[in-house]
Amino acid sequence: MEKHQINCRTASCQQHALLLQYPSLHEVSASRRLLLLHGAGVPGEVTWTYIANYLSEWDEILIPDFAGMGRSAFFAQTAPRLSDYVAQIHELCEALDWTEFDIAGYSFGGMVAVRYLQQFGARGLCFLLEPAMLFSADCHKTQQKADDYLTVADRVEHNPQDADAYLDFLESVSPQRVRNEKVDRLTIARLQENSVGFAQALRAVSQVLLDECSTYASWIAPWPGVSFVGGLSHATMLGRHRLLAEQSADWQCHVVANADHSLVFTKPRSIAKVMNERRQQG
């Protein structure tokens, strides 16, 4: 495997991404490509390294940093909307001539992935790991969750060093997690490194959930893919993921046993196994 650090300037921001290239093991004319989008606050390489180590069905894997999180940054000083992050990823893909690829999004990144596919079309598989849009089939509950995120964003913007604000966020997304002070401190430290970007991402996704809650409550996947949900996550989220699989034409729901919202960090091998198997199916 070869690792390449990508740094380039596009219309809206200074971009940073990690490109992983593997010796081609597939008898196909075009490379199999996978785009991995991280969640709010923690950069791409930190988020996806564990899973990427076990992925074997792709020739190239692109792991960008969202602007404000890691080493990417918007040029504009205004508060970004979800559409701005979608535009950022589209600009990067155009600059690298990435036109056909599978896409995976974790948490906030899942929201960006879905909006990207809605706007620019799907030409591959989609993998969603606990995106905020699949919190519940009950619009009111999703709006309540969006309000919780906005409260955290306000507190972080007011005082980026307020550890309790980040802890409240962890309690909100992973209420049944096994408490570990050392792990919590590490997670909080990672989020504090990109506190502004973290708060901006929370605010952007919350606004979309509030504005388009009814749409997402009944959303059906029009493209093939898999969604992952932790077995310890909210019951409403488990139900929404299962409902999505039941109602969509070519969609699978995979419940990750003994995992919560941190599944991307704690269960990389089992997640990668499912992704590899789904890619093998074509």
pLDDT in tens, 252-273: 999 999 999 999 999 999 999 9
Which are the contacts of 193, defined by CB distance < 8 A and separation ≥ 6?
none
How many whole angstroms separate alpha carbon 33 and alpha carbon 124? Answer: 9
pLDDT in tens, 109-166: 999 999 999 999 888 999 999 999 999 999 999 999 999 999 999 999 999 999 999 9
Q: What pLDDT band is residue 179 in, cutting at 50, 70 and 90? A: confident
How many whole angstroms separate alpha carbon 43 and alpha carbon 67? Answer: 10
pLDDT in tens, 75-111: 998 999 999 999 999 999 999 999 999 999 999 999 9
Q: pLDDT exceeding 70 applies to what percent of the chain?
A: 98
More confident residue, 218 or 177: 218
Mean per-residue pLDDT for 17-35?
82
Listing DSSP states for 205-234 in one string gives: HHHHHHHSHHHHHT---SS-EEEEEETTS-
At 11 the pLDDT is 98
DSSP SS3 for 198: helix
At 1 the pLDDT is 86
Residues 143 and 132: beta-carbon distance below 8 Å: no
Residue 235's φ and ψ, nearest 5 degrees, are -60, -35
At 102 the pLDDT is 98
Radius of gyration of the chain (CA): 18
Q: What pLDDT band is residue 25 in, cutting at 50, 70 and 90? A: low
pLDDT at 71 over 90: yes
pLDDT at 63 over 80: yes
| pTM reported for the whole predicted model | 0.96
DSSP SS3 for 183: helix
| Strand residues in the chain grouped as ranges (E) | 2-9, 13-21, 33-37, 60-64, 73-74, 102-106, 126-129, 225-230, 251-256
Mean per-residue pLDDT for 202-217?
96
Q: What pLDDT band is residue 41 in, cutting at 50, 70 and 90? A: very high
pLDDT at 230 over 80: yes
Closest-CA residue to 102 (of 7, 21, 223, 11):
223
At 29 the pLDDT is 62
Cα torsion for 28, 29, 31, 34, to the nearest 10°? Answer: -70
CATH 1.10.287.130 for the 2-136+218-281 domain, yes or no:
no
Closest-CA residue to 50 (of 224, 270, 249):
270
pLDDT at 24 over 90: no
Which are the contacts of 17, defined by CB distance < 8 A and separation ≥ 6?
6, 44, 62, 63, 64, 65, 72, 92
Token look-up 């502004």 returns: 196
pLDDT at 47 over 80: yes
How many whole angstroms separate alpha carbon 158 and alpha carbon 204? Answer: 17
Closest-CA residue to 47 (of 100, 108, 91, 102):
108
Token look-up 């409260």 returns: 151
pLDDT at 26 over 90: no
> What are the tokens at 43?
């950069």
How many whole angstroms separate alpha carbon 205 and alpha carbon 130? Answer: 13
